[in-house]
A and B are shown apart, each in its own frame.
Chain A
Amino acid sequence: MPRAKSVQKVARHQLAKAPTGIQGLDEVTDGGLPKGRVSLVCGKAGCGKSLLAMQFLVNGAVQYNEPGVCMNFEETEEKLAANVTSLGFDLHDLTKRKKLLIDYVFIERSQITESGEYNLDGLFIRLGHAVKTIKAKRVVLDSVQALFAGVADTAILRSELQRLFRWLEDHHLTAIVTAEAGINTLTRHGLEEYIADCVIALDHRVTEQISTRRLRVVKYRGTSHGTDEYPFLIDEDGISVVPITSLALTHEARTDRVSTGIPAMDQMMEGKGFFRGSSVLVTGTAGTGKSSLAANFASAACARGELCLYFTFEESPSQILRNMRSVGLDLERWVKKRLLHFNAMRPTSTGLEGHLAVIHKLISRLRPSVVVIDPITNLVSATGSYDVKSMLVRLVDFLKVEQVTSIFTNLTFAGDPQEKTAAAVSSLMDTWVVLRDSKPNGRPRRELYILKSRGMEHSREVRELIVSKSGLELGIVLKDHTVATHVAGQ
Chain B
Amino acid sequence: MKANTETKKSSGMKKSAAKKRPAKKRPDRTSRSDFFILRLYIAGQTPNSITAVANLKKLCEDKLKGKYRIEVVDLLEKPQLAKGDQIIAIPTLVRRLPPPVKKIIGNLSKTESVIVGLDLQPVL
What 10 A-B pairs come out closest when comparing CB atoms?
A113-B117, A116-B109, A116-B106, A129-B79, A121-B90, A122-B87, A116-B107, A115-B106, A115-B113, A123-B88
| Bound complex: CA A128 to CA B7 (Å) | 36
Tell me whether A117 and B109 are in contact (CB under 8 A). Answer: yes
User: Contacting B104 at CB < 8 Å: which of A103, A115, A120, A122?
Assistant: A115
Instruction: Tell whether, in the assembled complex, residue A120 and residue B101 are in contact, meaning their CB atoms are under 8 Å apart.
Output: no
Kindly supply a per-residue 1/0 record for chain A positions 90-118, scoring 1 wherever the CB is within 8 Å of any chain B CB and 0 otherwise.
Answer: 00000000000001011110011111111
User: For A150, what are the chain B residues with a Cβ–Cβ distance below 8 Å?
Assistant: 88
- Which A residues from 45 to 91 make CB contacts under 8 A with B? none
Complex alpha-carbon distance, A107 and B52, angstroms: 21
Determine chain A's interface SS by DSSP, over half rule.
Answer: mixed
| A118 and B110 alpha carbons, distance in the complex (Å) | 12
How many interface residues does A have (CB within 8 Å)?
Answer: 25
What sequence of 0s and 1s flags, for each residue 94-124 of chain B, a beta carbon within 8 Å of any chain A beta carbon?
A: 0000001111111111110110110000000
B88 touches A113 (CB 8 A): no
Give every chain A residue within 8 A of B88 (Cβ-Cβ): 105, 107, 120, 122-123, 126, 147, 150-151
A-chain residues with CB within 8 Å of residue B48 when the two chains form the complex? 116-119
Query: Is the beta-carbon distance between B89 and A119 smaller than 8 angstroms?
Result: yes
A103 to B116, CA, bound (A): 31
Contacts of B41 in A (CB 8 A): 122
Tell me the A211-257 residues at the B interface (CB within 8 Å).
Answer: none
Q: Tell me which residues across on chain B come within 8 A of A123, comparing CB atoms.
A: 88-89
Instruction: Kindly identify which residue among B83, B91, B111 contacts A126, using a CB–CB cutoff of 8 Å.
Output: B83
By a beta-carbon cutoff of 8 Å, the part of chain B in contact with chain A is 41, 43, 48, 51-52, 55, 75-76, 79-80, 82-83, 86-92, 100-111, 113-114, 116-117
Q: In the bound complex, do residue B80 and residue A115 qualify as a contact, i.e. CB atoms below 8 Å apart? A: no
A residues bordering B, Cβ < 8 Å?
A: 103, 105-108, 111-123, 125-126, 128-129, 147, 150-151
When distances are taken between beta carbons in the complex, the residues of chain A under 8 Å from B113 are 113-115
User: Is B110's CB under 8 angstroms from A115's CB?
Assistant: yes
Of the candidates A105, A122, A147, the one whose C-beta lies within 8 Å of that of B92 is A122
Contacts of B101 in A (CB 8 A): 111
Q: Specify the chain A residue showing the minimal Cβ separation from B104.
A: A113
> What is the minimal beta-carbon distance from A24 to any residue of chain B, in angstroms?
35
A129 CA to B82 CA, complexed, in Å: 10
Tell whether A112 pairs with B105 under 8 Å between CB atoms, given A121-B90, A122-B41, A122-B88. Answer: yes
Q: Is the CB of B51 within 8 A of A116?
A: yes
